Amino acid sequence: MKVFKFGGASINSIDRIKSTSQIIKTQAGDKLLLVVSAMGKTTNALEKVAGSFFEGKKEEALALFQQVKDQHRNTLKYLTVTRGLQGENQLNDFNTEVEWLLHDKPVRQFDYYYDQVVCSGELMSTAILYHYLLELGVNIAWVDVRDVIKTDNNFRDAGVDWDFTGSMIKEKVLPLFEQYDVVLTQGFIGSTFENESTTLGREGSDYTAAIFANLMNAESVTIWKDVESVMNADPRKFADAVNIYSLSYAEVIEMAYYGAQVIHPKTIKPLQNKNIPLFVKNFLNPQLQGTSITHQLARQLPTLIVVKENQALMQFKSKDFSFVEDKPIEQLHKIFDTVKLKPNLSQNTAISLLCSFDDRKEKIDQLAHLASEFFDVELERNLSLLTLRHYNTEIYQQLTKGKTVVLLQKTPETVQALMRENTAV
């Protein structure tokens, strides 16, 4: 059995849904588990719904949600002939759940509401795709993944209960393959044991595919994207970015860790643990080779370039000149946990610790505030973090030219430079 994951871009228009469905139809002879994200930018739109609701702007939240609903209903109408009514009923079921909630007043944490609202994106997209594929004659079942992937209640970044999820897959998913060729379900979402919806973190559908593959011992996972393959750099920023056709799990996990937006960072471990190959393929042109990711070490990789913009450098200096050792570092890490911010790069000197973070303003302010009890805190914004793997001096010099490096870390394999743009005086 194979696992296919389709992201938002592969179903963001009628045409895309049609061509994605052709890929599925062609493969449907093999047993296939399909994991699908929300359409296009739906998750962003639903985040706004949750935000308005939480700010007490009920009418605005309902109006924004109405737009999302209409868009899905129209898509369904265009695509279906005989299954229209069943499809609409299914969409209505999900929408009613959300609308009930939007009529209430927020009394719980934001993250809880976020998950209850945002999960509807995946439920709606998969319902539409399901009814369309049925009309195309695909022998397919639709599964609400919230009955299968069980998580803790750490909303917005829920942790999966692997044992329980494994038993649900055995009980509820595997038997479906005796009757159906394709089982379609949602990426990114799950639910608690109290049946409250949860999400696994933005872009989490890749991870869902890996969870299923691991627990079903799938033969492979294919992530269908709008790029030809994994590349050594973001082609929107680097015109000379090149394709990479084979990579090791280890390399990909490093790339994702440094911020390359290739594959969700949590995806690799479940696949590596069971030695399940991961293919990245282009849904616009399935004939292209794509990238295969396995345990095999790739030789002669080009330099991998990752740039993270919008970095904030914080310097925590001990107030009384005592060394920054175990105790104060421990205090700081507790604060990082509370604020839910992880440094992308950190380095300590005798009496200070330097850390670079994604500049999420409220979190940075909160962090500065909490840390100021123990440390003098200095902050510099608007930096960018360059990471190069398999680098050479020439590339390093070229990419740091015209910039001031404010923090530098090197191993023989990887160099990371936190940089400030030199402004002309």
Q: Residue 187 touches which of Mg ion, ligand ASP, none (CB < 5 to 8 A by kind)?
A: ligand ASP
- Map tokens 């604060």 to a residue: 335
Q: Which is nearer to Mg ion, 126 or 192 (CB)?
A: 126
Task: Report DSSP state, residue 298.
Answer: P
Query: Which structure tokens are listed for 100?
Result: 């009930």
Measured CA to CA, the distance from residue 320 to residue 374 in angstroms comes to 9
Task: Read off the amino acid at residue 130.
Answer: Y
User: Considering the complex, what minimum distance in angstroms separates the CB of residue 378 from ligand ASP?
Assistant: 34
3-class DSSP state of 121: helix
Pairing of strands 243-244, 140-142: unpaired
Q: Residue 188 touches which of Mg ion, ligand ASP, none (CB < 5 to 8 A by kind)?
A: ligand ASP
Measured CA to CA, the distance from residue 113 to residue 97 in angstroms comes to 12
User: Considering the complex, what minimum distance in angstroms separates the CB of residue 44 from ligand ASP?
Assistant: 7
User: Considering the complex, what minimum distance in angstroms separates the CB of residue 206 from Mg ion?
Assistant: 8
Residue 7 binding Mg ion, by CB under 5 A: yes
User: Considering the complex, what minimum distance in angstroms separates the CB of residue 189 from Mg ion?
Assistant: 13
Q: Which is nearer to ligand ASP, 154 or 372 (CB)?
A: 154
Tally Cβ neighbours within 10 Å of residue 341: 19
Q: Which is nearer to Mg ion, 9 or 215 (CB)?
A: 9
Q: Residue 204 touches which of ligand ASP, Mg ion, none (CB < 5 to 8 A by kind)?
A: ligand ASP
Binding segment for Mg ion among 30-38, 102-110, 153-161, 248-256 (CB under 5 A)? 30-38
**Which residues contact ligand ASP (rule: CB under 6 A)?**
7-8, 37-38, 43, 121, 187-188, 202-205
- Map tokens 């009628």 to a residue: 14
- The number of CA neighbours under 13 Å toward the Cβ of 356 is 24
Task: Read off the amino acid at residue 183.
Answer: V
Binding segment for Mg ion among 8-16, 22-30, 76-84, 186-194 (CB under 5 A)? 8-16
CB 122 within 8 A of CB 143: no
User: Considering the complex, what minimum distance in angstroms separates the CB of residue 62 from Mg ion?
Assistant: 26
3-class DSSP state of 156: coil
User: Considering the complex, what minimum distance in angstroms separates the CB of residue 188 from Mg ion?
Assistant: 8
Binding segment for Mg ion among 3-11, 19-27, 161-169, 171-179 (CB under 5 A)? 3-11
Q: Which is nearer to Mg ion, 188 or 336 (CB)?
A: 188
Q: Which is nearer to ligand ASP, 230 or 370 (CB)?
A: 230
Reading phi first (left if > 0) and then psi (alpha if -120 to 50, else beta), residue 217 is in left
Q: Which is nearer to ligand ASP, 56 or 201 (CB)?
A: 201
List of residues 6+ apart from 296 with CB closer than 8 A: 246, 248
CB 422 within 8 A of CB 383: no
Q: Which is nearer to Mg ion, 42 or 165 (CB)?
A: 42
User: Considering the complex, what minimum distance in angstroms separates the CB of residue 43 from ligand ASP?
Assistant: 4
Task: Read off the amino acid at residue 168.
Answer: M
Evaluated on CA atoms 387, 390, 392, 395, the torsion sign reads: negative
Pairing of strands 403-410, 230-231: unpaired
Strands (E) across 37-191 are located at 140-142, 182-186, 189-191
User: Considering the complex, what minimum distance in angstroms separates the CB of residue 354 from ligand ASP?
Assistant: 31
Choosing from 5, 8, 149, 223, the residue that interacts with Mg ion (CB under 5 A) is: 8
Residue 37 binding Mg ion, by CB under 5 A: yes
Q: Which is nearer to Mg ion, 227 or 324 (CB)?
A: 227
> Can you give the binding site for Mg ion, defined by CB under 5 A?
7-8, 37
